[in-house]
Amino acid sequence: MIFKADSHAKINLFLYVTGKREDGYHTLCSLMTRVDLCDSLGFEFGREQVSISCSHPDVPSDNTNIAARAACLFFEEFYHKKGGKKAGVAITLEKEIPVGAGLGGGSSNAAVVLNVLNKKYHYPFSRRELMDMGLFLGADVPFFIHGGPALAKGVGDRLETALPLQPYHVLLFYPGIQALTGEVYKKMDFSLTKRGKSNINNPLKSGRTGSVVDIKSGLHNDLETAALIRYPDIGLAKKELLQFQPEGVLMSGSGSTFFALFSCFRKANQAYAALYTKWKGSGKKVFLTSFVQTL
């Protein structure tokens, strides 16, 4: 019997680069939320070892895949630290989230694996322990284990639950280009990131109305200019989205996907239909999504 689980994408509603550590990792302050674009993971339990299969040509189908690494790490910790039995799992991965798109697909896959295995083996690890394991795999993994909208600081290890967000329809445009995070950081002018650091939390304060936050006026990404310098062709995505006059447009993470916020579904759907028809079959992808705010 195969157990199925959804693996959501994320977007960064703001992202500030706050520093660089001696080990080379950059520290950030970023507000992230999941959206309802999902990969699908299937699990066959009771295997002797970990295996993974994925039909996407750019995703490895061996134990270098981050989802397989997550399973191996879980079983290693389960066996050595919790006295659990040696076990394995066969994972199938159906990709919908574009690869190298700034949408956290791999990190989300890893988080789902950790959460599913933890449930299967009757919760041997606390959420904090799972998040610590996740950080070993990738900076965004703890966010996906955490759940709903969150303010991530440090290298992604310090997470604060954010207030509920004003709902928007979110149009994603992936321009068919994989952006490498390391290449984007090489193009950054770190002197520019110092501007406005004291105002990082202002979007969460100035946009607050009652118990929700309207983030449209707080959209910001320190990595966007660097990504456009390194991969100028991704600017097409921003140009295409802006023509529909959304409430805001921003690049997610280190790129290459841009997203647009629409309060009106009709307007968002018209934009989606136009872009989908224009770029169908080109390698560029358009998705109409919305915020996922449940834990």
107 and 184 fall within a common domain: no
Whether pLDDT at 197 is above 70: no
10 flagged as catalytic:
yes
Region for residue 104 given its phi and psi (left: phi exceeds 0; alpha: psi -120 to 50; beta: otherwise):
left
The percentage of residues in the chain with a pLDDT greater than 90, rounded to a whole number, is 77
Cβ atoms 92, 131 nearer than 8 A: no
Block residue for tokens 């290449």: 183
Active site residue 140: yes
Find the domain containing 70 and state its range. 3-161
Closest CA to 139 of 109, 163, 107: 107
Place of tokens 């647009």: 260
Are 185 and 226 in contact by the 8 Å Cβ rule? The answer is: yes
Q: 10, 95, 238, 284: which is the annotated catalytic residue?
A: 10
pLDDT band at 26 (very low <50, low <70, confident <90, very high): confident
Residue 204 clears pLDDT 80, i.e. is over it? no
- Of the three residues 116, 137, 161, the one that is the final residue of a domain is 161
Indicate the residue among 161, 193, 208 that finishes a domain: 161
The whole-angstrom separation of Cα 141 and Cα 111 is: 6
Q: Are residues 32 and 14 in the same domain?
A: yes
Question: Does residue 173 sit in the same domain as residue 141?
Answer: no
Q: Answer yes or no: are the C-beta atoms of 103 and 11 closer than 8 Å.
A: yes
Whether residues 153 and 28 share a domain: the answer is yes
pLDDT at 194: 55
Q: Can you give the CATH number for the domain in which 227 is found?
A: 3.30.70.890
Query: What's the CA gap between 186 and 188, in Å, rounded?
Result: 6
Number of folded domains that form the chain? 2
Residue 195, pLDDT score: 52
pLDDT in tens, 263-274: 999 999 999 999
**Cα–Cα distance for residue pair 188/95, rounded to 1 Å:** 30
Select which of 39, 95, 140, 222 is catalytic: 140
Place of tokens 């307007």: 267
10 and 134 together in one domain: yes
Mark whether 7 and 110 lie in a shared domain.
yes
Q: Are 155 and 9 within one domain?
A: yes
Per-residue pLDDT tens for 59-104? 999 999 999 999 999 999 999 888 888 899 999 999 999 999 999 9
Residue 254 and residue 190 share a domain: yes
41 and 71 in a single domain? The answer is: yes
**Domain stops at, among 161, 188, 213:** 161
Query: Angle at which helices 127-137 and 105-120 pack, to 10 degrees?
Result: 140
Domain match, 179 and 77 both = no
Q: Mark whether 151 and 208 lie in a shared domain.
A: no
Q: What is the CATH number of the domain that holds 24?
A: 3.30.230.10
Tens of pLDDT along 248-265? 999 999 999 999 999 999
SS3 for the chain, per residue?
CCEEEEEEEEEEEEEEEEEECCCCCEEEEEEEEEEEEEEEEEEEEEECCCEEEECCCCCCCCCCCHHHHHHHHHHHHHHHHHCCCCCEEEEEEECCCCCCCCCCHHHHHHHHHHHHHHHHCCCCCCHHHHHHHHHHHCCCHHHHHHCCCEEEEECCCEEEECCCECCCEEEEEECCCCCCHHHHHHCCCCCHHHCCHHHCCHHHHHCEECCEECCHHHCEECCHHHHHHHCHHHHHHHHHHHCCCCCEEEECCCCCCEEEEECCHHHHHHHHHHHHHHHCCCCCEEEEEEEECCC
Instruction: Say whether the peptide bond before residue 30 is cis (omega within 30 degrees of 0).
Output: no
What does the pLDDT read at residue 157? Answer: 83
Q: Which residues, other chains included, contact 64 with Cβ-Cβ below 8 Å and sequence gap of 6+?
A: none
pTM of the model: 0.93
Residue 203 and residue 151 share a domain: no
What's at 92, amino acid-wise?
A: T
